[in-house]
Chain A
Amino acid sequence: MGSRLPASGSRLSPPRAIAWEFTWRHRWGFLAVGVYLAVLAAIKLVIVVRNVPVAFDSEESFALAVVVPITVSFVYLLAVFTYGLSGDLAARQSMYPARMFTLPLSNAALVDWPMLYGTTALVGLWILTRWLSVWPTEFSIPYVWPATLAAALVMWTQALVWMPYGLAGMRVIVSVVVLWVIDAIVLLALHFKAAEWVIVAITAPQIPVAYAIGRVAVARARRGVVPQWRLPSLASLLSRVAPARGEQIEQVEHSSAGRAQSWYEWRCSGKSLAVWVAIILPLELVLLWAAGTSTTLVIVIVLGALVTPVIVAAFAGVSASSMGGSGSARDGYGLSPFIAARPLTDAQLLSAKLRMTIRSTLFAWVIVLLAIPLALYSSGTWQTLRDWSRNVAAIIGVPRTVVLLGVVVAGMMLSTWRQLVQSLHFGLSGNPRLIKGSVFVSLVLASLLGPLAIWIVDTDRVGVVWSVMPVILALLVLAKMLAAGLVAARLVRERPLGDRALIAGALCWTSAVVALFALLAWLADTPHIPRYLVMLLAILSVPLARLSAAPLALARNRHR
């Protein structure tokens, strides 16, 4: 934990000043990591004192207890020491804070101290976890290679995040690819049961390489080098193919203020979901070529591809919901005066945002629905999927099979849109802590859900979960309706929307829930699934409370 700056008279050295900034600014996060380690220590102390043999019922149970929290702590510390929590990850400019370039420090000092602190923190996290955690007796826990891997990962991430790039978004792609390659090499070595010194020999040499690249990155950023690579725009490509059409795109006219604002929203953040889906999807679908005739593998890969927009939307939703626009708001999150001073009502601003989310969802799904059949056909796995669907049709009938497939796709599309809009109230609030906190919670949930599901399946707890499912769903519905009631009361009191909009919204929501219930009840026409359970699911599926809170958040942000 850090402390406040010393009183005037005493003076901090530059390395201590840099360390102070890290510790003081992120004191609450460091405190949370410290509490986690203290809890680990306390558990270990109790177990050691009582001399209880340590055994987990599965590797997944152990993962839930230790690996997930340590992963969350690792990601958090990585974000802190790369300066990744402030700045735009997708920007071409270096994320190293420009204010530090004017300090009377050499490039070496600017790189050395943050890299040293980052490496110390992450290696320290591993050492403490290794020492304090209650490791199952059947596990052989290595000492050194995770530490060298942690050091290599943090230094590579720092170097890549601080590097200026020629294209927007390239930082994310380069970082993901480089870190994935490092992880893959280590995982391969583990798969082939390589000795610890072999993995150390793979990871340790990367430390000086990452350091050298970090030095180059900061030197370039300090000189103001930001390469600008130009990709041909859609309009210029079209103008080459069909000059008249290209010209039309360049000269886009807005017939109304609402359409102009929709265009603005689309240009600001509408394309990011589709771009990310287009980057990730080929990496997933390429696995179809390795699936052979395995029906399970083909279905898992296709389902994975269908889930991709939903997962990407959970992260894209935060940037899509921000009203700042690129480089326009002071803190990057608050409503910029340029947008706040548009002669539009709050409802019109929100409506433009919602239109953008619908368009963004459709655009991403056009890519998915074109890419999957294309990949199935090219990889020769189309036949496998067709045979499977014929088998399903033989069991539940052709109409239900067609509707089921339609519902799966439509449900995924709805979920994608839902992910985009349910963080609207965070983004529109303009509160950086709330926005960053929601991203962090999304990351934590994303890293927890997979292991949790595997744990439930592997430990034969599916029956238990199924039996308590009505209670869980009922509690979730109760929480949702309570929140919606509170939001509705504020909407009526503060009047960010007119009566007609409120009534239309309520009618739309009710109609969507009833329609979804009717469809699901028809699809799942079995005595094993009670109707009330279907109704609870339908209520939970259609966004209400958080979407209704968006106008309040926008009004508060716009008229603080």
Chain B
Amino acid sequence: MADSVIRIDNLTRRFGSRTALDSVSLSLPRGAVYGLVGANGAGKTTLIRHILGLLAAESGAVRVFGLDPVADPVGVLSRIGYLSEENDLPGWMRVDELIRYSRAFYPKWDDAYAEELRVAFALDGSTRIKTLSKGQKARAGLLVALAHRPELLVLDEPSSGLDPIVRRDILGAVIRTIAHDGRTVLFSSHLLDEVEEVADHVTMINSGRIVLSAPLDEIKSSHRLGGQVPSLDEIFHRRIASTIT
């Protein structure tokens, strides 16, 4: 696994008495779409925050592009495009200001691509972020996450609470990102049909533990029942049920 974009070894994280991540180990090679699935509170966002260096590993190690994201935030974050589930873009900024502000941080920012995305997402540059709808805010966040053509795109529950049109935009962005050679996407969601649509590799997480991590095709073939290929949703429920029992 010399070319792992993300490598996590025995990562454990506790918040008070609650164990959010329990000895999680994961290695994500370059150039694929990884779906991180799990119920609400399973530990998906905690794992992503460790990858971004927003949480420091209590025990275990996290390496992104071979670097420690806490010790070298510039080295790691300048190569990542991140869309947060919190949709926390500053409301006082105008869309144009957001674009110009974000551009300053990324040497590989592509102005033409940013403009292409702005037009495709029907975002008016002079509009303040706080006046945008939830879907438009998600599109604005996606624009700044994609416009520097990141090596790793991290989407944390990107389509949660959004309408099908915005969800289609997000999935389209994932597909466009993969179209560029060697780029990697980490995509967390509890909407399994969405993950099934784009992911090459699925990691299931439950109560802070990884219960399954394998290529999607392998997962489906190994869970085949009487010649029928189950959906990811059915497989997930079966795995969770078996974990509980």
A→B interface (CB under 8 Å): 251-257, 259-260, 263-264, 267-268, 325-330, 336-338, 340-346, 348, 558-560
- Check A328–B90 contact: CB distance below 8 A: yes
Chain B 179-238 interface residues, beta-carbon cutoff 8 Å to A: none
Q: In the bound complex, what is the Cα–Cα distance between A348 and B74 (angstroms)? A: 10
User: Chain B residues with Cβ under 8 A from A327's Cβ?
Assistant: 90-91, 130
Of the candidate stretches B26-34, B47-55, B116-124, B157-165, the one touching chain A is: B47-55
Number of cross-chain contacts by CB at 8 Å: 89
Q: Does B106 contact A (CB under 8 A)?
A: yes
Q: In the bound complex, what is the Cα–Cα distance between A326 and B88 (angstroms)? A: 10
CB distance from B236 to the nearest CB of A (A): 26
User: Chain A residues with Cβ under 8 A from B103's Cβ?
Assistant: 254, 260
Q: In the bound complex, what is the Cα–Cα distance between A299 and B96 (angstroms)? A: 49
User: Chain B residues with Cβ under 8 A from A328's Cβ?
Assistant: 88-91
Could you list 11 further interchain pairs (A-B, Cβ under 8 angstroms) beyond the known A328-B91, A337-B88?
A: A252-B97, A256-B104, A257-B105, A260-B100, A326-B91, A328-B89, A329-B88, A330-B86, A337-B86, A559-B54, A559-B70
User: Chain B residues with Cβ under 8 A from A330's Cβ?
Assistant: 86, 88
Interface hub of B55, B73, B93 (most chain A Cβ within 10 A): B73
Q: In the bound complex, what is the Cα–Cα distance between A251 and B93 (angstroms)? A: 13
Task: Name the residue on A nearest B93 (C-beta).
Answer: A267
Of the candidate stretches B2-10, B76-84, B167-175, the one touching chain A is: B76-84
Q: In the bound complex, what is the Cα–Cα distance between A559 and B101 (angstroms)? A: 23
Q: In the bound complex, what is the Cα–Cα distance between A559 and B73 (angstroms)? A: 10
- Check A343–B104 contact: CB distance below 8 A: no
Q: Does B92 contact A (CB under 8 A)?
A: yes
Q: Does B24 contact A (CB under 8 A)?
A: no
Task: Name the residue on A nearest B45 (C-beta).
Answer: A337
Partner of B55, one of A338, A348, A560: A560
Q: Does B56 contact A (CB under 8 A)?
A: yes
- Check A264–B88 contact: CB distance below 8 A: no
- Check B54–A337 contact: CB distance below 8 A: yes
Main secondary structure of the interface of A (DSSP, over half): loop
Q: Would you list 17 pairs from A and B whose C-beta atoms are within 8 A, ordered by A residue?
A: A251-B100, A263-B101, A264-B90, A267-B93, A325-B92, A338-B89, A340-B54, A341-B54, A342-B77, A343-B78, A343-B106, A344-B73, A348-B74, A559-B54, A559-B56, A560-B55, A560-B56
Closest 8 CB pairs of A and B: A260-B104, A343-B78, A343-B77, A254-B104, A559-B56, A337-B84, A328-B88, A336-B88
Q: In the bound complex, what is the Cα–Cα distance between A338 and B73 (angstroms)? A: 14
Known contacts A341-B52, A342-B77; is-contact A252 B105 (Cβ 8 Å)? no
User: Chain B residues with Cβ under 8 A from A255's Cβ?
Assistant: 104
User: Chain B residues with Cβ under 8 A from A348's Cβ?
Assistant: 74
Partner of A559, one of B53, B80, B84: B53
Task: Name the residue on B nearest A260 (C-beta).
Answer: B104
CB distance from A74 to the nearest CB of B (A): 34
CB distance from B96 to the nearest CB of A (A): 8
CB distance from A345 to the nearest CB of B (A): 6
Q: In the bound complex, what is the Cα–Cα distance between A342 and B80 (angstroms)? A: 10
Q: In the bound complex, what is the Cα–Cα distance between A338 and B103 (angstroms)? A: 14
Q: In the bound complex, what is the Cα–Cα distance between A345 and B76 (angstroms)? A: 11
User: Chain A residues with Cβ under 8 A from B100's Cβ?
Assistant: 251-254, 260
Interface hub of B56, B88, B103 (most chain A Cβ within 10 A): B88
Q: In the bound complex, what is the Cα–Cα distance between A344 and B78 (angstroms)? A: 8
Q: In the bound complex, what is the Cα–Cα distance between A342 and B104 (angstroms)? A: 10
User: Chain A residues with Cβ under 8 A from B89's Cβ?
Assistant: 328, 338
CB distance from B125 to the nearest CB of A (A): 10
CB distance from B94 to the nearest CB of A (A): 9
Partner of A260, one of B53, B77, B92, B101: B101
Interface string of B16-37 (1 = CB under 8 A from A): 0000000000000000000000
Q: In the bound complex, what is the Cα–Cα distance between A344 and B84 (angstroms)? A: 18
CB distance from A424 to the nearest CB of B (A): 19
Q: In the bound complex, what is the Cα–Cα distance between A486 and B82 (angstroms)? A: 37
Q: In the bound complex, what is the Cα–Cα distance between A255 and B54 (angstroms)? A: 26
- Check B55–A259 contact: CB distance below 8 A: no
Q: In the bound complex, what is the Cα–Cα distance between A256 and B93 (angstroms)? A: 18
Q: In the bound complex, what is the Cα–Cα distance between A105 and B90 (angstroms)? A: 34
- Check B104–A259 contact: CB distance below 8 A: yes
User: Chain A residues with Cβ under 8 A from B52's Cβ?
Assistant: 337, 340-341
Q: In the bound complex, what is the Cα–Cα distance between A330 and B97 (angstroms)? A: 22
Known contacts A254-B104, A326-B91, A328-B90; is-contact A559 B55 (Cβ 8 Å)? yes
Task: Name the residue on A nearest B145 (C-beta).
Answer: A341
Task: Name the residue on B nearest A348 (C-beta).
Answer: B74
User: Chain A residues with Cβ under 8 A from B49's Cβ?
Assistant: 337
Task: Name the residue on A nearest B54 (C-beta).
Answer: A340
Q: In the bound complex, what is the Cα–Cα distance between A392 and B49 (angstroms)? A: 63
Known contacts A253-B100, A343-B78; is-contact A325 B90 (Cβ 8 Å)? yes
- Check A338–B88 contact: CB distance below 8 A: yes
CB distance from B142 to the nearest CB of A (A): 13
User: Chain B residues with Cβ under 8 A from A251's Cβ?
Assistant: 100
Known contacts A257-B105, A260-B101, A267-B92; is-contact A344 B86 (Cβ 8 Å)? no
User: Chain A residues with Cβ under 8 A from B56's Cβ?
Assistant: 559-560
- Check A260–B105 contact: CB distance below 8 A: yes
CB distance from A437 to the nearest CB of B (A): 21
- Check B105–A342 contact: CB distance below 8 A: yes
CB distance from A455 to the nearest CB of B (A): 45
- Check A254–B91 contact: CB distance below 8 A: no
Q: In the bound complex, what is the Cα–Cα distance between A344 and B74 (angstroms)? A: 5
Known contacts A257-B104, A263-B101; is-contact A341 B77 (Cβ 8 Å)? yes
User: Chain A residues with Cβ under 8 A from B91's Cβ?
Assistant: 326-328
